[in-house]
A and B are shown apart, each in its own frame.
Chain A
Amino acid sequence: GDSVTQMEGPVTLSEEAFLTINCTYTATGYPSLFWYVQYPGEGLQLLLKATKADDKGSNKGFEATYRKETTSFHLEKGSVQVSDSAVYFCAEYRAGTYKYIFGTGTRLKVLA
């Protein structure tokens, strides 16, 4: 069935380092793709999304590009901050399925 695969965590970076968190999807067709972030003790919040191939979602310095040819939606940020420490979830939604599929989450820890 459809699934979303994320890189294993935890990812530990120093402040101002470059971040990449890989995500690939297997849904056929053109699912909508999302990155959600979960800060400690909180629910999930939408970080960014892309709804069609070659779209780039961006928010708070994070970016991800919907790549149909590689079925990927990797999350990047040029310079991470301590406040970016959280768990990041990649997710897909395929119209007509009535559900969003989440990846396993990648924990990011940014050290000062």
Chain B
Amino acid sequence: EIVLTQSPGTLSLSPGDAATLSCRASQSVTRTFLAWYQQKPGQGPRLLIYGASTRATGTPDRFSGSGSGTDFILTISRLEPEDFAVYYCQQHVEYPYTFGQGTKLEIK
């Protein structure tokens, strides 16, 4: 199965900072099949980015995705208080679909 490794595990930043979250795959993943989700406490995940770089409906433009092959990045250009959450990458090209272990973005 394709293993996705996210780093860092926890990122402590302040509102207004920029955040860079990494997702590395154990084998190449076509960009089309790489997504990012946001999960807030007590809530289900929400689709944020799909196709590695396309913002889902309702995703603010301060969120951007990039990358290809085995290395993907989620960038938040200027953190808002509502952005502090856990972020997961996912590959949906091969069964079993897999998620990274998550990056927790916390307020410093």
Q: Do A and B bind each other?
A: no
B interface with A by C-beta (< 8 Å): none
